[in-house]
Structure 1
Amino acid sequence: MVQGTLQLQWADPPRAQPGRTQAQPHLDAWLDMGPGRRVALDVAQAQRAAGDLYALANRRVAVSYDTRATLAASSKVMAASGALPVISAIVPTDRLPQRALAMGADGRVMASAPVLGATRWVTLMCKFADIATEQKPRSFFQDQYGNAPGQLGHYWSEVSYGQINLAGSSAHGWYTLPKPRAAYLADVNGRQKAQLSELFSDCAAAADADVDFAGIQGVNLMFNGELDGSAWGGGACTTLDGTYTCTRVTWSPPWSFANLAPLAHEMGHGYGLPHSNNSDGDSDTYDNPWDVMSDAWRNATTDATYGLLPKHPNMYQRERLGWLPASRKRVVAADNRETQEFVLDAGSVLKTANTQLVVLALPAQPDPYKTVIYTLEARRRTGTYEANLAGDAVIIHRLEDYGIAYSVDRDTPAANFSSNEGSMLKVGGRWNTPDELHWVEVVSATAQGFVVRVGPRQRSMSSPAPVLERPTQVASSSPATPRPSAPTPAARPQSSVRRRGCDALPSLLRLAPVCVWLER
């Protein structure tokens, strides 16, 4: 067993140009045990061993290895193949908040430590020894931390519902690095990779005389030249003010810091947020325009000074970090037997007594980290950051792969980018979980969200469970005609409330369900 600080670093390439394939992200993981002492971790193994690996970023952990599996493989074979020892478990060793590692009502383990209060960041602007250009003045980076709409201080306060702020954040530079750009690149497994720890150390050392690093929560590094084709976010360790320190870090080339959206994406990695995705099944993780932690570029609002602005992250990840008040989360149990109707306010509503996150629980798995759940959240085109979204709708996410949120697309096949109608559950739209334990219907719109109805599987006599979906889309040039909405139970006397049961015809027929009203 070894102990140290878990470090994760995500590589994010720029948005692909039209006609070009989107470059892929990359995730590195290692254990930092002090100056010059690092142990690389196999990411896939680490995810399985930790369960919620992202919640442990920048925290003290213990890593244990399966000695039998490791010894079974010859050390020579492992060395030749580049394989790493088999990880059996990764557990936190720091003092945990009360809610950490507790089983939630949704059947998943809450392993994340809340991110609350002042999270002071420092921007360091560093230029390579062989590149003289200074793209932006110090005032530009200092003002990024402001609290006016369209600035980072305002953005992070809004998406965290005031739970965090950037008070005391500051920008410094430009400082000249001791080496040219090429000296910070290395060939790793056949590709050029920026030496991030060295860049962090050299940039921090150049700024050390000017900057007070005491109490910082993160460092945004800005470089005046390209790195390795990506911007990076996560964490790193170096000596700051004479003390070896591990902290949140981002590494931004000019194309990244010129727009606030990709910078906020990298800071999100610093806070421990993983990538999100959509449900088309391809290898592109940047195809969910509803989430800044997936596609930061599409459907973004624009500011004359700060370029593209960040959208909100998905509600489940905000709740993981302790930003969503417990009263705004509703869990529908896997064995739910009652139909529930409630107001689901958009995530952009800062103060509300209504629900903003719905968790549709599924039966728990032996490994709670592998338990799949579905979430519902409302999105409205409003405000500084959400005004250019694809529509006003309820968005469904499937949580799997150790905490990755996939936006659900009900079209077949799924669209390349989930800004399509299939990704939006609108008024009159219906959907059920694949196992048919839950069905969802959007009843009506409100000023700040939607009235949503959620219920258990329904059966009419001995027929199969219902398939509830949005109005059928006909693959032709003529618009589809939506099915008429059924009357709501609320409009009937309580003594004669009826519920709707829908019999699904075989899916290959592509026909609408046959629905009947049943007395209750």
Structure 2
Amino acid sequence: MGIRFAIAVLALAGWMASVSAQAQVVQGGLELRWGDPAPGPGDRRGPAKFQAALVLDGGARIPLDPDQARRGAGDLYALANRRVAVQFSGAKSSAGGRRIEAIVPADTPDSARAHGLTGKSDGVAKATLGATRWVTVACRFSDIAEEQKPVGFFRDQYGEGAGELGHYWREVSYDGIQLTGSDAYGWFALPHPRSHYVTEEDGEDGEDEADLTALFNDCTAAADAEVDFSQVVGINLMFNANLDGYAWGGGRCTTLDGADRCWSSTWNPPWSFNNLAPLAHEMGHGYGLPHSDNSDGDDDTYDNPWDVMSDSWSNAVVDTTYGARPKHINILQRDRLGWVDAVHKRTIAAGSARTRLAVDYASLPLPTEDNGLADNIRMLVLQTPQSPDPYRGTFYTIEARRPTGDYEGALAGDAIIIHQVGSDYRYEAESQDSDSPPADRADNEGSMFKVGESWTSPDHLFNVLVESKTATGFVVVVGGRPRQTGGRGPRRSR
């Protein structure tokens, strides 16, 4: 381990010297990690955290500036846990590091594009389909003996019963993925106390910092004799004490059991693994999904209770075994992972003729000969004209949601939900709110568009009327540019 680390350090030093005077293209695995704070009193939370890094073949990690990485990739999240090529400029950024010019996939047959950096990511994540086997590894710090849950608890979380992860991911993906073969192991003793992995800062403004790489390396090494990591897609790490106040989800690019690749990964303290909703949230990050948000413009990304990738806790069904259950994922993120078939998706460009469409509830199963459901739309996309920068375009998604079922039963209402996507290079969905100002949390009437109500997009390119309700959703009418009678914000009328 020491020799490999030394080699990695030398490789990183050599790379830094080589780019000091000229631009350079460097390949490696792209690690993206999201940190999610524990809910505090009154449901207050700290800010979300986000880290990006390029992992070189020798194991060295090059931290990437998140904003530069988003701009350079176009759609950074589509490249999570993949091999990429990064072009660094010869000039330094204002922060002092090397500026990122472009990030493109390097794991596709179009290798010339990766080496030549002729364009950015195409905005399409690799589909996540079929068997996605996860393994839970529970580890305890050498100075903390408590084991909050037996290993059987973690194993049973992967089950196929209502309120269990196998059942949840099968339902939310329209049976696109399965967790068959997922298992749990532990508790394994870490070689060091918690203080070795978590740096505690003093003072009101100080922030603890968890060494996620060391936690991953030591926990998987402790379990290596029992677990064949080469056979799994994702690794859920469970720790028996608080980390840095956050649960983390994303990726880890390394070599395990002879396999050299990026694993979907999560780092969970007890408050996270005791509830299925935050655990599913972190697994979503492991699949490369970013946060969602609402449209109130603040820096709180946890105020959209229509999506487990935003607010895991509010409007959640709760059971006595696994606590808060995860609600579904918004339709954009389902589509990004390849779970929405083309027949259930429709795109309407700005300036198109007035169009009437039936939009079925996103929570319904896919149509079969037995259930009698029609091939209606589940995802409606309103596409704005491309801006001069094609990776800064905005679009809107429309879906139907209602409080029903094992995971959606506590939603705020039965309505059409609209999200805006694409601002500031972030492929993060922001729920739209007709209230002025927008509510702090999107469980208000302003975020739910019901029969007789209409919405005008902030750019005034689209008007959406919820015309009627059906047994399986709503009929909406999408028109072109409406006559402008108000301000620039979204408007509702009856």
Distance 1:84 1:47 in 2: 16
Deviation at 1:239?
A: 3.7
Distance 1:466 1:261 in 2: 36
Instruction: Say yes or no: does 1:154 pair with 2:167.
Output: yes
Provide Cα deviations, 1:144-169, integer angstroms capped at 9, x if missing partner: 11111111111111111111111111
Distance 2:225 2:479 in 1: 62
Distance 2:131 2:187 in 1: 26
Deviation at 1:186?
A: 3.2
Kept in 2: contact 1:201–1:239 (CA 8 A): no
Distance 2:109 2:188 in 1: 38
- The partner residue of 2:429 within 400, 405, 428 is 405
Deviation at 1:436?
A: 2.2
Distance 1:465 1:2 in 2: 47
Deviation at 1:243?
A: 4.2
| Alignment-derived partner of residue 340 in structure 1 | 355
Provide Cα deviations, 1:90-141, integer angstroms capped at 9, x if missing partner: 01110269xx99xxxxxx9433111111101000010110111111111110
- The partner residue of 1:440 within 464, 467, 477 is 464
Deviation at 1:380?
A: 1.0
**Unaligned ranges ≥5, structure 2:** 1-24, 115-120, 368-374
Kept in 2: contact 1:359–1:376 (CA 8 A): yes
Distance 1:364 1:37 in 2: 38
| Alignment-derived partner of residue 213 in structure 1 | 229
| Alignment-derived partner of residue 167 in structure 1 | 180
Divergent runs of 4+, >6 A: 463-468
| Alignment-derived partner of residue 410 in structure 2 | 388
Instruction: Say yes or no: does 1:425 pair with 2:470.
Output: no
Q: Quick one: structure 1 residues 52 and 437, their matched pair in 2 at CA, closer, same or farther if it must change by over 3 Å?
A: same
Cα-Cα RMSD: 2.3
Which moved further from structure 2: 406-415 or 181-190?
181-190
SS at 2:471's partner residue? coil
Distance 1:56 1:47 in 2: 10
Provide Cα deviations, 1:295-333, integer angstroms capped at 9, x if missing partner: 000000012101000011110111111110111111111
Deviation at 1:410?
A: 0.7
Kept in 2: contact 1:129–1:179 (CA 8 A): yes
Distance 1:277 1:412 in 2: 17
Kept in 1: contact 2:81–2:253 (CA 8 A): no
Kept in 2: contact 1:35–1:238 (CA 8 A): no
Kept in 2: contact 1:395–1:423 (CA 8 A): yes
What is the letter of the counterpart of residue 492 of structure 2? R
| Alignment-derived partner of residue 495 in structure 1 | none
| Alignment-derived partner of residue 286 in structure 1 | 302
Provide Cα deviations, 1:394-433, integer angstroms capped at 9, x if missing partner: 0110002331110011101111001000000011111111
Which moved further from structure 2: 340-349 or 183-192?
183-192
Instruction: Say yes or no: does 1:34 pair with 2:57.
Output: yes
Distance 2:186 2:217 in 1: 15
Distance 2:306 2:158 in 1: 24
* Aligned residues with identical type, % of pairs: 54
SS at 1:115's partner residue? coil
- The partner residue of 2:316 within 280, 294, 300 is 300
Deviation at 1:464?
A: 9.7
Distance 1:459 1:205 in 2: 64
Instruction: Say yes or no: does 1:323 pair with 2:346.
Output: no
What aligned pairs does 1:115-514 form with structure 2 within 5 A after superposition?
A: 115-186=128-199, 191-336=207-352, 338-352=353-367, 353-400=375-422, 401=424, 402-458=426-482, 469-471=491-493, 483=494
Provide TM-score, normalisation by structure 1. 0.83
Distance 1:162 1:202 in 2: 34
Deviation at 1:458?
A: 4.5
Distance 2:281 2:145 in 1: 27
Q: Quick one: structure 1 residues 399 and 210, their matched pair in 2 at CA, closer, same or farther if it must change by over 3 Å?
A: same
Provide Cα deviations, 1:441-488, integer angstroms capped at 9, x if missing partner: 11111222111111112559xx999999434xxxxxxxxxxx5xxxxx
Q: Quick one: structure 1 residues 355 and 335, their matched pair in 2 at CA, closer, same or farther if it must change by over 3 Å?
A: same
SS at 1:200's partner residue? helix
Deviation at 1:36?
A: 3.7
Q: Quick one: structure 1 residues 187 and 47, their matched pair in 2 at CA, closer, same or farther if it must change by over 3 Å?
A: farther
SS at 1:66's partner residue? strand
Distance 1:126 1:96 in 2: 39
What is the letter of the counterpart of residue 395 of structure 1? I
Q: Point out the structure with max Rg over C-alpha.
A: 1
Distance 1:464 1:44 in 2: 34
What is the letter of the counterpart of residue 110 of structure 1? G
Distance 2:97 2:289 in 1: 25
Distance 1:385 1:434 in 2: 31
Deviation at 1:434?
A: 2.3
Kept in 2: contact 1:332–1:360 (CA 8 A): yes
Distance 1:222 1:163 in 2: 26
Kept in 1: contact 2:292–2:428 (CA 8 A): yes
Distance 1:310 1:422 in 2: 23
Distance 1:387 1:184 in 2: 39
What is the letter of the counterpart of residue 83 of structure 2? R
Distance 1:96 1:253 in 2: 40
Distance 1:467 1:32 in 2: 42
What is the letter of the counterpart of residue 169 of structure 2? W
Q: Quick one: structure 1 residues 467 and 416, their matched pair in 2 at CA, closer, same or farther if it must change by over 3 Å?
A: closer
Distance 2:253 2:84 in 1: 15
SS at 1:377's partner residue? strand
SS at 2:248's partner residue? strand
Distance 1:16 1:198 in 2: 27
Provide TM-score, normalisation by structure 2. 0.87
| Alignment-derived partner of residue 513 in structure 1 | none
**Unaligned ranges ≥5, structure 1:** 102-107, 472-482, 484-520
Deviation at 1:438?
A: 1.5
Distance 2:321 2:180 in 1: 21
| Alignment-derived partner of residue 371 in structure 2 | none
| Alignment-derived partner of residue 480 in structure 1 | none
Deviation at 1:367?
A: 2.0
What is the letter of the counterpart of residue 376 of structure 2? N
Distance 2:109 2:131 in 1: 19
Kept in 2: contact 1:123–1:221 (CA 8 A): yes
What is the letter of the counterpart of residue 453 of structure 1? V
Distance 2:417 2:470 in 1: 16
Provide Cα deviations, 1:55-107, integer angstroms capped at 9, x if missing partner: 1011010111121x32xx7xxxx7xx6x321000001110269xx99xxxxxx
What is the letter of the counterpart of residue 162 of structure 2? P
